[in-house]
Amino acid sequence: HVFNNSLDASKEVAAEVASLIREKQAQQKMCVLGLATGSSPKSLYAELVRLHKEENLSFKNVISFNLDEYYPMKAESIHSYVRFMNEQLFDHVDINAENVHIPDGTLSKQEIAEYCNSYESKIEEMGGIDLQILGIGGNGHIGFNESGSLQNSKTRLVALDHSTRIAASKDFKGLKNTPRTAITLGVSKIMEARRVILLAWGEAKSAIVRKAVEEEFTNQVPASFLQEHNAVDFVVDKEAASQL
Ligand code: GLP
C-alpha cells in the first residue's frame, strides 16, 4: 500500500489497530499486539495516542510484546527500547503495566536462553500475536533478525550486523558505544502472527523494500520471508515505493 506520506499511512494503520482493539473489546477478549521500535512506528504510536485521548480508544484489553531490545541494556537507559516505548506510547495510554512485555536487556548471559523460551511461551499462552507491527532495517532485518537468520529461528541473543550498528551509532554517539548484541523475537514467531504490517518510509528504504517484495525469498533479506505470510501488508510512502 503506497501512501503520499508517512502521516497518512500511519493514520490508516492506526485505524486498523484501533478497530482490532475495539473488536476484541466487544468480544471481551484481549488483543495481543507485537510492537516495533525505530523511527518508522513513531507516527503510528502518535496517532494511537491521539485516538486514545480524543476518540476514547482504551488499551485496557491490550497485551503487547515488543520485538527486541539491545543487550546488555538497562531499562532506565536513554537508549533502551523500554524507554522508547514508554515515551512514544505506553506513558500516554491506559495500558496495564503487567500487560507490557519487552525483552529484558539486564539478564546474565546464562539466563538468556531460558528467558527467550519463556518469552515465546507467554506469547503462546496469550493465544499468539493478533497483529505484528514491523519496521525494516537497511539490510532487510525484521526485529533484529539480521541477514542469515533462519525462517524457523527462535527468540534469541544475536550479534548485530555492522550496518545495523552503524545505523544505530547516531543514537549512541559513536560506534564504540553501540551495543554489539541484542535479544530479538525469532522469525518463526513473527511469521505466526495472524496479521503483519511492515512500515517503511523514505528513499533510503526503497532498495530494501524492492528486494523484500519483488526479489527472491532469501535468508539474506529476512523481510523477504514475509512473502510467505498470508496476511501481510507493506505500508510505504511514495519515496520508499520508488523502486517498485
Ligand atoms: C532497529 C529495530 C528494528 C527496526 C529497525 C529500522 O534495528 N530493532 O526493529 O525495524 O531499527 O529502524 P527505523 O524504523 O528507524 O528505520
Q: What is the pLDDT of residues 7-27, one digit of tens each?
A: 999 999 999 999 999 999 999
% of the chain exceeding 90 in pLDDT: 100
Say if residues 178 and 165 touch (Cβ distance below 8 Å): yes
Q: What is the SS3 assignment for 134? A: strand
Residue 3, beta-bridge partner list: 237
Q: Retrieve residue 51's grid coordinates.
A: 485516538
pTM of this prediction? 0.98
The residue type of 30 is M
Question: What are the residue ranges spanned by the domains of the chain?
Answer: 2-196
CATH of region 2-196: 3.40.50.1360
- In 3D space, the residue among 218, 240, 215 whose CA is nearest the CA of residue 40 turns out to be 240
| pLDDT computed for residue 52 by the predictor | 98
Q: What is the pLDDT of residues 88-145, one digit of tens each?
A: 999 999 999 999 999 999 999 999 999 999 999 999 999 999 999 999 999 999 999 9
Q: What is the pLDDT of residues 217-226, one digit of tens each?
A: 999 999 999 9
Q: What is the ipTM of this complex?
A: 0.94
Residue 144 alpha carbon, nearest atom of ligand 1 = 8
CA of 58 to the centre of ligand 1 (A): 27
In this structure, the number of other CB atoms found within 10 A of the CB of residue 135 comes to 21
Cell 496469550 identifies what position? 126
* Probe residue for ligand 1, chosen from 37, 139, 221, 236 as the CB with the greatest number of ligand atoms within 8 Å: 37
Q: Which helix (H) or strand (E) holds 139?
A: none
CA of 27 to the centre of ligand 1 (A): 33
d(CA 112, CA 108): 7
Q: What is the pLDDT of residues 157-175, one digit of tens each?
A: 999 999 999 999 999 999 9
Annotated catalytic sites, by residue? 146
Say if residues 154 and 225 touch (Cβ distance below 8 Å): no
Residue 68 alpha carbon, nearest atom of ligand 1 = 8
| pLDDT computed for residue 217 by the predictor | 97
Residue 233, beta-bridge partner list: 197
Cell 522508547 identifies what position? 84
Count CA within 13 A, CB hemisphere, residue 125: 10
Q: Could you tell me where the beta strands, DSSP code E, fall in 102-148? A: 131-134
Q: Could you tell me where the beta strands, DSSP code E, fall in 126-209? A: 131-134, 156-159, 181-184, 196-200
% of the chain exceeding 70 in pLDDT: 100
CA of 157 to the centre of ligand 1 (A): 17
